[in-house]
Amino acid sequence: MRRVDGGVGVSVSGLRHAYRSPTGPLPILDGVGFEVAPGGYCVLMGPSGSGKSTLLGLVGGLDRVQSGSVRVGSADLSSLAGDALAAYRRETVGFVFQHFGLLDSLTAAENVELACALAGVPAAARRTHAADLLAAVGLGDRTRHRPSHLSGGERQRVAMARALANGPSLLLADEPTGNLDEGSAEAVIRLLESFHDDRGCTLLVVTHNRALARRAAQRLRLVAGRVVPE
Ligand SMILES: Nc1ncnc2c1ncn2[C@@H]1O[C@H](COP(=O)(O)OP(=O)(O)OP(=O)(O)O)[C@@H](O)[C@H]1O
Ligand SMILES: [Mg+2]
């Protein structure tokens, strides 16, 4: 695995975001500001529908910044679009989606390999790398399973292996322990923390899980469109 020498800092200020709806603009973020230090471990909490996934998607470059500023390391996301935003996602960010986002037409190994392929890793190297990553998350004996033939916790770990495939310096995880039993949740938390500790990446996790939240160095809460310290 490629070792990351220190994560990137995240700096968000005056961030506003609205979705289009049949009844007009639906404001979700209303001047969000916060900072996560390079290599920091930050948890974001808040009620369902408050905009946590929206915020994570903006920091991860999944959606365009409409108003305000999002800086990650030296990148100013409000000025990135198209290929530059795709390169940012590929080279800087590892994203663990709330609903996994795995392709069921591919095996666990192929899901991880796909991320490496997008980064231009040659076929033989990406096969070895995917196998190593899946072994690291305890799924060395499930590499040829399709996601629908894996348990929820196993899918979550495949999603983590994929998020780590290109050695991200920012790891974003959206409710990684949602729908997991206590034991699986603990295993997933430990994995996230080991990647953060061993590889130095910055970790930003959305969670409703209080046990996970207590372990982070920094806790934030999103309420009424704003981020406040927890
Ligand atoms: N593409 C979209 N178009 C219109 N409205 C959207 C869209 N995506 C999200 N929303 C709305 O924005 C609000 C925030 O959604 P978001 O998914 O960010 O919340 P969340 O805090 O992650 O919630 P949860 O804890 O349930 O995952 C919700 O009210 C949702 O209905
Ligand atoms: Mg969400």
User: What does the pLDDT look like over 158-181, one tens digit per residue?
Assistant: 999 999 999 999 999 999 988 788
Residue with tokens 């990553």: 133
How confident is the model at residue 182, as a pLDDT?
85
How confident is the model at residue 200, as a pLDDT?
92
Question: pLDDT digits over 47-66, tens only?
Answer: 999 999 999 999 999 999 99
| CATH code: domain of residue 225 | 3.40.50.300
Residue nearest to atom 11 of ligand 1 (CA): 49
How confident is the model at residue 1, as a pLDDT?
45
Asked, for residue 140, whether it belongs to a domain, the answer is no
C-beta pairs of 18-23 under 8 Å, 24+ apart in sequence: 18/66
Average the pLDDT over 32-39 and give the result.
Answer: 97
Asked, for residue 123, whether it belongs to a domain, the answer is no
Asked, for residue 144, whether it belongs to a domain, the answer is no
pLDDT at 220 over 60: yes
pLDDT at 97 over 50: yes
Asked, for residue 135, whether it belongs to a domain, the answer is no
CB atoms within 10 A of CB 105: 9
Angle at 109 between CA 104 and CA 114, to 5 degrees: 75
Residue 86 domain boundaries: 10-105+165-229
pLDDT at 199 over 90: no
**pLDDT tier at 2, thresholds 50, 70, 90:** very low
Domain count within the chain: 1
Which residues approach ligand 1 with their CB closer than 6 A?
A: 19, 21, 26, 28, 46, 48-54, 98
Token pair of 162, please?
């994929």
From 15, 23, 28, give the residue whose CB has the most ligand 1 atoms within 8 Å, as the site to mutate.
Answer: 28
Distance, CA of 47 to CA of 25 (rounded, Å): 21
Residue nearest to atom 26 of ligand 1 (CA): 48
- Distance from the CA of 51 to the center of ligand 1, in angstroms? 6
Asked, for residue 37, whether it belongs to a domain, the answer is yes
Q: Give the residue among 72, 8, 71 at the shortest CA–CA distance from 38.
A: 8
- Distance from the CA of 47 to the center of ligand 2, in angstroms? 9
pLDDT at 4 over 80: no
Residues 85/60, Cβ–Cβ less than 8 Å:
no
**pLDDT tier at 17, thresholds 50, 70, 90:** very high
Asked, for residue 153, whether it belongs to a domain, the answer is no
Residue nearest to atom 5 of ligand 1 (CA): 19
Q: What is the mean pLDDT of the chain?
A: 93
From 43, 45, 52, 221, give the residue whose CB has the most ligand 1 atoms within 8 Å, as the site to mutate.
Answer: 52
Q: State what percent of residues in the chain have pLDDT above 90.
A: 83
**pLDDT tier at 5, thresholds 50, 70, 90:** low
Asked, for residue 111, whether it belongs to a domain, the answer is no
Average the pLDDT over 127-153 and give the result.
Answer: 95
Distance, CA of 81 to CA of 56 (rounded, Å): 17
Asked, for residue 64, whether it belongs to a domain, the answer is yes
Residue 95: which residues within 8 A CB-CB, separation 6 or more?
A: 56, 60, 62, 89, 163, 172, 173, 174
Asked whether the CA dihedral 89, 95, 101, 103 is positive or negative, the reply is: positive
